[in-house]
Amino acid sequence: MANQRIIFVEPSFYGVSFVKEAKALGCEVVVIASSADNPQLYGYEGLYDDLLVADIRDAESIYQAIINSPYHGQFDALIPATDYASAVTAEAGERLGIHGTSFVAASNARNKDLARQAFLRDNVPSAKFAVVRDSEEAVIAAARIGYPVVLKPTNAASSQSVYFVENESVLREAFREIIDFKTTYMDFKVREEYLIEEYLTGPEFSVEIFLSQGEIAFAEITEKHTSDLPYFVETLHVFPSSIYQEQRDQIIDVAKQAVLSIGIQNGPTHVELKYTQDGPKIIEVNGRPGGDNITSDLIVNAYGINIFKETILKYLAQPLDIDKKKYQASAIGYLVADRKGTVRTITGLEHLHHEDVKRYQIDVQAGSDVDIARSSDDRLGYIIVEAATPIAAKHKVEELLGQIQISYAE
């Protein structure tokens, strides 16, 4: 890969792994970021060769940054390193004649209403839905779909402003709150169209899929656990799933249908779904590797497969190396508060020094103010374990989480 140049747009969170893998492959790394401070902020300082500053919310700004740089016509791949910038990166890439996910497909992945419309068109099993702009439209839609319903933004993530709604009065209050949610991460504007969706019941999964020319190069199921209603915060992931293995092929097939429906033919996707009494139904498709350390840690721990590396190889039109190197399992459990308060003590952390623990991070200490998790931002830390089987990995991380006790100041 030496001498091949890659431009990444706004590496952050999972996207930092793209930068690390590109450097490990010997590529030259150019970053387009919204601020020169971002490499230090997101943890990739010293891992890039040059940095261009642009408004990463705007395709024209990204395009101008590239054509006015020394790299115009002199780079091999343009890769969005945050899903928020995937559509604008695709738009700029199409103007530059660069191979990648199409603007239409990236837009469908970024906008849940567009994806729902594609699923409806192609008969992909999915929740009933309606796109609404005001509370009156929401009330009519909810009555048609039937309570309970879910109210959510069309283009946010991480369970931000997602509401479980049991009746009309709760819906009206939730709508008053959601219209005040104006900007999401990195100051991307929240659209003023919202989704009312059927609330799906059943165990939740994500499917980590890597497509090559529309065919599956890799696919596996992650078992997901979420917080109690009315919130949807993800608290535990097990890879591969310890449950529903007899339904594995059916779940993966529906996930593939959804990915192809929105127009993605190549690269990694993270498909969220529930297994209902009618079979798998799609929650959403994310046109990116799975976050929450699923791709960076769990897949690597369990199978020895590095999806970030494979994505770079795909963009560079190089042969993939995506076969399993090992047959283990891995799980991540998130620490969350069971009440609002100020932390007095955290005990039990000594149990994390265990041979099964691959990595952990605790983000609170005595004096930290905490609250019940309403979005992923409210989680207090995590523990990642590796074990011989999915059941063993799940039980181990649950045991470790149970040994951590938080006391609160009165």
What does the pLDDT read at residue 1?
A: 60
- Residue 107 inside a domain? The answer is no
- Tell me: do 137 and 152 sit in the same domain: yes
72: containing domain = 5-100
- What mean pLDDT is predicted for residues 193-213? 96
- Tell me: do 251 and 291 sit in the same domain: yes
What does the pLDDT read at residue 182?
A: 83
115: nearest Cα among 252, 289, 256, 286: 286
Query: What's the CATH number where 35 sits?
Result: 3.40.50.20
Q: Is the pLDDT of residue 289 over 90?
A: yes
Among 172-186, 276-290, 392-406, which is the least confidently predicted range?
172-186
Yes or no: say if 160 and 375 are a contact pair by the CB < 8 Å rule.
yes
Yes or no: say if 115 and 284 are a contact pair by the CB < 8 Å rule.
yes
- Residue 112 inside a domain? The answer is no
Identify the H or E element spanning 361.
strand 357-362
- Tell me: do 298 and 229 sit in the same domain: yes
- Tell me: do 14 and 64 sit in the same domain: yes
- Tell me: do 193 and 248 sit in the same domain: no
258: nearest Cα among 276, 283, 221, 241: 283
What mean pLDDT is reported for the chain? 94
What does the pLDDT read at residue 223?
A: 98
Domain end among 252, 287, 315: 315
* Structure tokens belonging to residue 155: 């283009």
Q: Is the pLDDT of residue 31 over 70?
A: yes
Total count of domains within the chain: 4
Better-predicted residue by pLDDT, 302 or 338? 302
- Tell me: do 189 and 210 sit in the same domain: no
What does the pLDDT read at residue 158?
A: 64
pLDDT band at 187 (very low <50, low <70, confident <90, very high): confident
- Residue 285 inside a domain? The answer is yes
pTM here? 0.93
220: nearest Cα among 249, 246, 257, 262: 249
Q: Is the pLDDT of residue 159 over 70?
A: no
Query: What's the CATH number where 347 sits?
Result: 3.30.470.20
- Tell me: do 25 and 88 sit in the same domain: yes
- Tell me: do 242 and 142 sit in the same domain: no
- Tell me: do 211 and 230 sit in the same domain: yes
Tell me the pLDDT tens digit for each residue of 81-129: 998 999 999 999 999 998 889 999 999 999 999 999 999 999 999 999 9
